[in-house]
Amino acid sequence: MATLIKPVSGWGRYPVQSCEIERPERYADLKPSSPTLIARGQGRSYGDAALNENGHVILTERVNRLLLLDVENGILRAESGVTLDEVLNAIVPKGWFLPVTPGTKHVSLGGCVAADVHGKNHHHDGSFGNHVLSIELIKADGSRIECSPENHSDIFWATVGGMGLTGIIGEVTIKLIHIHSSQMMVRHYKTPNLEQIFKLLENPTADDSYTVAWIDSLVSGRELGRGVVMCGHHANDDELPFRIENRYNIKKRHAISIPFNFPAFTLNSFSIRKFNAFYYSHEGKKTSPYLTDYDPYFYPLDGLNNWNRMYGKQGFLQYQCVIPDKTSFEGIKAILETLTNSRHPSFLAVLKRLGAESKGMLSFTMTGYTLALDLPIRDQGIFPLLNRLDQIVMQHGGRVYLAKDARLSPESFHTMYPRYEEWLNVKTLIDPENRFRSSLSQRLKIGETA
Ligand SMILES: Cc1cc2nc3c(=O)[nH]c(=O)nc-3n(C[C@H](O)[C@H](O)[C@H](O)COP(=O)(O)OP(=O)(O)OC[C@H]3O[C@@H](n4cnc5c(N)ncnc54)[C@H](O)[C@@H]3O)c2cc1C
């Protein structure tokens, strides 16, 4: 197959590395023929998970056929390169929805399995892998294996959350959820500090199917962690307008494009502080429940093409960690304090409550709280700051999300992911020469035997 050597990056545009790209057209062409390789879906992981410096990267974007949609039982089988956008366009008009979705629909099914992604409903429904009925995996020797929670379950749970390192996911079967319309019923709660946000996220009366908190990461002192808790659910029949026509209508949104890299000074403490104050007051006003389409609700950033260019040429890092329940408040507070005392403002800070831990051996989620921060790379000072945050996360028993990572150390990874040895046993069995490698796996020494 023809290959092309070119510089590639993840969504954060850091690091940029030279990789040998292959783009198979058909499922039958997805053969591991190169010495080292990694699959890449839509490249929406932020760091180096879908890069393989000086090695092969297999793009799955053209291997994207929907194979089966069982509208009676809500079951979908598709090739791994299909995007969530394509899936939604097929299933919403028929009254079905994704059981779990990340904050962008421009991701592939394969990427969602490999990162075992979570959504705003994790506290109720767990991560993506919970809803996968089976996958077909293309192994290092070219053979294919169908695995599921019942059949070759060790390979299944090493692949769910396994960041593409067990093989290429060829096909995926998922169970969908039924919806009454394409509308969401949403409500916001303005909260003055972190204590109140935690109280609200734990309060069963405020709780909803989808719950997430936006945090103003630039305020400190008594207002530390002030924000807006946003709750929503798929609108029930009795919440829909009396005469709703085309209840499963998908309104097309016209995305605006960011045409060029913003200059480095655009996002600074001043502009971010102004934006946060505006957002806190504007979103905090939406205290009465309101109806909105699912698209802007789940995917607000998809309305802005190439929004990663706003962070300038040097790119940005997303730091996402989870801290277990028992220590979560102290841990998240310490992270926010460290951040507000630093000279690195975070443009976006999002807090979510997570439910039961995934069965994926390298999956990120655990019962507790996850905080995600977007940090522009303005200078090298960001790296020691994030190393300090890693220490706080580890002291509190948490971990950092590999799908967002570009700079964790191998030592920290091994402390954070205690099921690594179990995962390595499966990896060694199905990929004994460690051919499935990524820049992330090489940086963190994942897949290497001690
Ligand atoms: C705006 C935005 C919001 C996001 N919100 C969330 C969120 O709410 N929750 C969340 O969990 N994540 C979130 N993410 C992260 C994103 O969901 C994951 O990184 C996802 O894996 C990206 O899918 P992709 O197709 O772009 O995969 P890529 O970035 O191309 O690859 C990611 C990983 O999946 C592997 N992979 C991809 N396809 C295959 C395949 N066919 N076989 C084997 N391995 C494969 C790659 O090797 C790599 O390790 C968000 C990302 C963005 C940009």
Q: How far apart are CA 111 and CA 68, in angstroms?
A: 19
For the segment 304-323, the average pLDDT, to the nearest whole number, is 91
Q: Is 164 in the pocket of ligand 1 (CB under 6 A)?
A: yes
Question: What is the spatial order of strands in the sheet that 37-40 belongs to?
Answer: 3-8, 17-22, 56-59, 37-40
Point out which residues pair with 323 in neighbouring strands: 369
For the chain, the average pLDDT equals 94
- Domain 66-179 sits in CATH at 3.30.465.10
What is the distance, to the nearest Å, from the Cα of residue 150 to the centroid of all Cα atoms in its chain? 26
Q: Is 166 in the pocket of ligand 1 (CB under 6 A)?
A: no
pLDDT at residue 57 tops 60:
yes
3-class SS at 133? strand
Point out which residues pair with 164 in neighbouring strands: none
Q: How far apart are CA 103 and CA 121, in angstroms?
A: 12
Q: Is 115 in the pocket of ligand 1 (CB under 6 A)?
A: yes
Nearest protein Cα to ligand 1, atom 13: 102
For the segment 182-203, the average pLDDT, to the nearest whole number, is 96
CATH topology (fold) of 183-409: Alpha-Beta Plaits (3.30.70)
Predicted confidence at residue 24, as pLDDT, reads 95
For the segment 268-291, the average pLDDT, to the nearest whole number, is 84
Q: How far apart are CA 84 and CA 302, in angstroms?
A: 12
Predicted confidence at residue 31, as pLDDT, reads 82
Lowest mean pLDDT among 63-72, 79-88, 257-266: 257-266
Q: How far apart are CA 216 and CA 269, in angstroms?
A: 12
CB 430 within 8 A of CB 164: no
pLDDT at residue 72 tops 80:
yes
Q: How far apart are CA 106 and CA 257, in angstroms?
A: 15
pLDDT digits (tens, 9 = 90+) for 362-395: 999 999 999 999 999 988 999 999 999 999 999 9
The secondary structure of 5-68, three-state, reads: EEEECCCCCCCCEEEEEECCCCHHHCCCCCCCEEEECCCCCCCCCCCCCCCEEEECCCCCCEEE
Q: Which residues contact 188 (CB under 8 A, 6 or more apart)?
A: 228, 229, 230, 231, 283, 284, 285, 286, 287
pLDDT confidence tier of residue 265, bands split at 50, 70 and 90: low
CA of 161 relative to ligand 1 center, distance in Å:
10
pLDDT at residue 140 tops 90:
yes
For the segment 443-448, the average pLDDT, to the nearest whole number, is 95
Q: How many CA atoms lie within 13 A of 211 on its CB side?
A: 25
Pocket test of ligand 1: the residue of 30, 38, 42, 44 to mutate, having most ligand atoms within 8 Å of its CB, is 44
CA of 165 relative to ligand 1 center, distance in Å:
13
For the segment 276-298, the average pLDDT, to the nearest whole number, is 89
Joined together, the tokens standing for residue 51 give 């890069």
* H-run or E-run covering 416: helix 410-416
Nearest protein Cα to ligand 1, atom 44: 164
Q: Is 42 in the pocket of ligand 1 (CB under 6 A)?
A: yes
Atom of ligand 1 nearest to the CA of 301: 1
pLDDT confidence tier of residue 264, bands split at 50, 70 and 90: low
Residue ranges covered by each domain of the chain: 66-179, 183-409
CA of 44 relative to ligand 1 center, distance in Å:
5
CA of 43 relative to ligand 1 center, distance in Å:
7
CA of 206 relative to ligand 1 center, distance in Å:
30
Backbone angles phi, psi at 406, to 5 degrees: -145, 5
pLDDT confidence tier of residue 450, bands split at 50, 70 and 90: low
pLDDT digits (tens, 9 = 90+) for 230-258: 999 999 999 998 777 788 988 887 777 77
CA of 245 relative to ligand 1 center, distance in Å:
35
